[in-house]
Each structure stands twice: as C-alpha cells, then as structure tokens.
Amino acid sequence: MNPRLLSLETDSLASSFEVFEAAPKDAGRRLDVVVVDRVPRLSRSRVAHLAEAGLVAVDGVVRKPSFRLRAGQTVRVEIPPPPRTELRPEPIPLRVVYEDADLVVVDKPPGLAVHPGPGHPSGTLVNALLARRRTSDGVSRNTGRGRGPCPATAGGAVQRAVGGATGDVAGGPSPIGDAVRPGIVHRLDKDTSGLLVVAKTESAYRSLAAQLRARTMVRIYLTLVRGRIARDHGTIRAPVGRHPSHRTRQAVTDRGRPAVTHYRVLERLVDSTWLACRLETGRTHQIRVHMAHIGHPVLGDPVYGRARVPDLTRQALHAARLEFSHPSTGTRLVCTAPVPDDMARLLARLRGAGEAGPCRGAARPGTPARHRGRPGGGEQQ
C-alpha cells in the first residue's frame, strides 16, 4: 500500500475501530479529551460528531463527549469510512519552501483556500498539491536536497524580525487519508498568507500532529493592527468559541475553549502597530478575535475589523515562521516566509505617513531583535 497521503481518490468499504483502556491518569477526564489524546488522527470536534452518532462507547455503553472516565474502563471508537470522493489535480502555482519524502512546506498566498469546502469546491491548496505530486520526486526543488534546515533564503529578514518569539498552536484538524483534506496538519484562513506544513505519510502526520498538541511546533505571525499598543509585549488570555448569534464568526465567550496569544511590538506607526504574534493555542480566527477583543483589530479584517484599508483587500496577517522537528530524523527545521507584497506596501505607506520609529526594545523587520526570549511576559490585556 502506497504510504503517500496525497491520494487522488479515497474509498474504504469498512469502518475502522480504536479500542483502549483508560489509564489511571485518565480518571475524571472528559471522554472526548482522552480519545483525542489516545487517537491522534481524530480532532475533538470529530470525536464529538462520532459520539453524537452513537459510535463512541465506554464498557459497551454509548456515552456523550462530556462523560467522565474511570481508570480501567474500555473505550471503543468506531470510525466510519469516508465517502468516495475525487479530488482533481489543478496546475495552481505554489511557492514551496521545503520538500522531501515525508512532508512539504508551502508559503500559501492570500486568497487560496487550504482545502475544498462550501464556496470553494476546487482551486485549493490540496488541488495544487495533487498536481504537484505528479511531477515531484520528493526532493526539494529549491535546494536540491531533501532533509535539513529550510532554505535560509526563504525570508531571512522575517526570521530576524520574529526570531524572539517561540511557542505554538495546538491542533491537528483531520485524520490521515481524509477524503477532502489529505495530509493537512494545520490550516490557515483563505485570506491569511504564509507557511503551513503538509504530511505525505501517516507517520509524518502523526508526528507533526503530536508536536502541535505538545506545543513544540513554533508558528509565528506578523500582523498590522489598528491603534498604537502601549505595552511592548503581552499575553491575551481569553476563551474563544462560536459567536452566540453569528454562527460563522468566533468570539471571546465564557463558553469558548481556552485561548492564549502572545504578542510583541515590532514597530509603532501612525495609528497602527506592527506585531509578531505567537499562538499558544490554535482556535479558529484566534489572532483576529483576540486583537479585536483588546481594541486593536487586524487591519483589513472584513469580519472583526469592519474597516477598509487602502492597498489591502484582506486581513493583514501573515504566517511568517514555522519551526518543527523532522518526523524521520528529528532535525529541527526552521522555515520563514517574506512579507507578501500587499502587506509590504501597506507597511511602507504607514511608515511614510509620519515620524514613527521602532518602539523601545523592539526591532524593525530586517534588523536583529533586542528581545530574544519568549514574548508574552506582560499582563493580559
């Protein structure tokens, strides 16, 4: 059986099963949380859907996701086969930062959805990767080699600008071989640009998903927000969940899941701030929701900012740095992506709007940052 995940067609005739015994450390924990820990290919939302369908049982009794386990109980999860689905390769240009037999790191442009969904059944990153698979030999076209550090030329200035931030987002959205999202380990919003890694083998997927959950994979974003943030660095701790009345939006809500965003000011501009943000958790739209929550929405954000910005047709948010351990070799890979043209033009215009040098203790992109430790030491805003 071909271990590659980027398959053109997925068809399975039978359900698969995961059976395990609750350990002493699982006593008192929620059923869905324990299943996610023990079955890495399942997300928490996927476990909830399976439980609602009566496919998650404890000692032979179907239970809700919130059921509290006791040590020694037997958990059985039935995972139905995905529907037969065909994904068509499409020759969409991609900027591949790094690639080998286990994974590929892509610098996604704004406007490109990661996988097919409502409103964009085709023309996605997955379609582009399927087309690339037909011509790729699994060796990085950019560097002429496979495993090893990502190319230093892939955004060195950005790497220096965000080098002082470390940490990550927890997650892992879909099981291996998902019919619509094959190999996708984490996602970016359609109009957010920047880096994401896609697994090519099941073992690579499991390793990368585990790093996301353990928060050892580093993802750092650059963003421009409205207003001048007073603190040089800080941490936003506010739960994020679905908006109570607008179901397509997220919001800070007591019923949401814990969410933590660390930020560091890179530069204060005229009525705006250039930031590096590190996600400790990975909730949908987290940076956008958190920055709007503290009164500094991301410039150009059509959902949480509600203000048009000249020179920009989307939110000013870019995944600039991605760092993780290679699933096969353990080598630490560090990939960076330069600021895209639309954000660079906006940044240049804001810099030219008045005298606003870099803030004390911060650095302009392209120059070494003074603070090399973790951001987020400041108080919650």
Residues in CB range of 244: below 8 A, 6 or more apart: 251, 253, 255
Average pLDDT of the segment spanning 173-191: 66
Q: Residue 64 — pLDDT band, cuts 50, 70, 90?
A: very high
Helices and strands, counts by H and E, the chain: 7, 17
State percent of the chain over pLDDT 90.
Answer: 49
What mean pLDDT is reported for the chain?
A: 78
Average pLDDT of the segment spanning 55-75: 95
Residues in CB range of 234: below 8 A, 6 or more apart: 262, 263, 375, 376, 377, 378, 379, 380, 381
How many other C-beta atoms lie within 10 A of the C-beta of residue 56? 25
Q: Give 344's DSSP letter.
A: H
Average pLDDT of the segment spanning 24-32: 94
- The CA-based dihedral angle spanning residues 206, 280, 288, 323, taken in that order and rounded to the nearest 10 degrees: -60
Give the residue among 105, 120, 126 at the shortest CA–CA distance from 7.
126
Show me where the domains of the chain are located.
9-79, 95-351
Structure tokens at 42: 């399942």
pLDDT of residue 83: 60
Q: Which CATH architecture has domain 9-79?
A: Roll (3.10)
Average pLDDT of the segment spanning 344-348: 94
pLDDT of residue 181: 60
Is residue 229 pLDDT above 70, yes or no?
yes
Average pLDDT of the segment spanning 93-120: 87
More confident residue, 9 or 257: 257
Active site residue 189: yes
345 burial level (CB within 10 Å; 0-12, 13-18, 19+) = middle
Query: Of these residues, 32, 107, 168, 189, which one is catalytic?
Result: 189
pLDDT of residue 125: 82
Is residue 374 pLDDT above 50, yes or no?
no
Amino acid identity for residue 325 in this structure? S
Q: 95-351 has which fold?
A: Pseudouridine synthase (3.30.2350)
pLDDT of residue 302: 92
- Helix (H) or strand (E) holding 50, with range, is helix 44-52
Q: What gap in Å lies between CA 169 and CA 260, rounded to an integer? A: 9
Q: What gap in Å lies between CA 207 and CA 136, rounded to an integer? A: 23
Per the CB < 8 A criterion, the answer to whether 254 and 273 are in contact is no
Give the residue among 264, 89, 85 at the shortest CA–CA distance from 178.
85
- Helix (H) or strand (E) holding 183, with range, is none
More confident residue, 351 or 176: 351
